[in-house]
Copies of this chain bind each other. A is one copy, B any other.
């Protein structure tokens, strides 16, 4: 049998485990040009919170009793596509389930001799690509600039900071535990960082750490940290809106100080993006990221929930509350030899 996680109810505020159901269905059969895969790692990501709202977003929402959306690292166990053999490792979008059928066309293979396969859901997957395109294409980062990253210890933020260091920039981050601050400064090489739960005046903190101002702000968080950025932007500053995780679990919309007049005096730009819009350029970016990884210029960390598909909702909720360092994954099964 195939175990799946479906949406039981639309969460109000933070999701609860009871907002999800574990159901059993028969393992599906692949048609021509399809493959049947077994999930090894399930990726849980902030964007999924938006997909279980009733409000229309950039993609279709998950309906009640529908399988949760999401990417997995999986192994092919039956192939009806000429490019795939039993045993191949792939990055597939089959959602939160132990087995799934997917089209072979467009499916990305991961070579387990080159990299740990879990990286296909992290630094060499959607979060890594998000960091790459957000910082370099949307943010148009230039050498010697100063970058501030919120959510700096997460799957995306931790890569943003490291790419900025590779590009010769000064990098400051914010995160929510002292362990995360230690990690990004002492392991990843951020120039400075602060624990936003221990700082009360974000504006003063930014002025202290970044007295000459911010060229690129990579925003994963939103809310009060982001408010404090606008007065601290440099002329022609860029604000990359990647995520607003502080806002996703609010029971009612939050108010904040109006700041658009800063955009005039700073001739600044705010821009949101989705990594899928850069899909034609993903191969080039992945090749660059893999090279940096092999050169030791990029590091990564994973927070892996080991308890199988029944722990997916718990891992998702933990990630939304900042429980992870680096990429949050759920280990679903062992790889077949």
Contact = CB atoms under 8 A, between A and B. Distances in A.
A272 interface: yes
Interface in A206-227: 219, 222-223, 226
B255 A258 contact: yes
In this complex, which of A248, A254, A261 has the most chain B Cβ atoms within 10 angstroms of its Cβ? A261
B277 A272 contact: no
Nearest to A246: B258
Nearest to A248: B261
B244 A260 contact: yes
A273 interface: yes
B260 A272 contact: yes
A58 B265 CA distance: 5
Interface in A53-107: 57-58
A99 B190 CA distance: 56
Interface in A172-222: 219, 222
B263 A271 contact: yes
A221 to B, nearest CB: 10
A57 B256 CA distance: 22
A241 B258 contact: no
A253 interface: yes
B258 A254 contact: yes
Nearest to A261: B244
In this complex, which of A57, A260, A270 has the most chain B Cβ atoms within 10 angstroms of its Cβ? A260
A268 interface: yes
Contact of A258 (B57, B223, B261, B271): B223
Interface in A261-317: 261-274, 277
Contacts of A258: 222-223, 244, 247, 253-256
A26 interface: no
A61 B288 CA distance: 48
Contacts of A266: 58, 272
A257 B260 contact: no
A274 B256 CA distance: 25
A248 B226 CA distance: 22
Nearest to A236: B277
A119 B242 CA distance: 44
A220 B249 CA distance: 33
Contacts of A257: 253-256
Nearest to A243: B264
A130 to B, nearest CB: 11
Given A58-B267, A241-B263, A270-B270, 5 more contacts: A219-B260, A247-B260, A255-B255, A262-B272, A267-B277
**In the A-B complex, the 9 residue pairs with the closest CB atoms:** A263-B272, A264-B272, A270-B270, A244-B261, A241-B263, A255-B255, A58-B265, A269-B271, A256-B258
Interface of A: 50, 57-58, 219, 222-223, 226, 235, 241-244, 247-248, 253-258, 260-274, 277
22 contacts: A58-B235, A223-B258, A226-B260, A243-B264, A244-B258, A244-B260, A244-B264, A253-B257, A255-B255, A255-B257, A260-B270, A263-B270, A264-B273, A266-B272, A267-B271, A267-B272, A267-B273, A267-B277, A269-B269, A269-B271, A269-B272, A270-B271
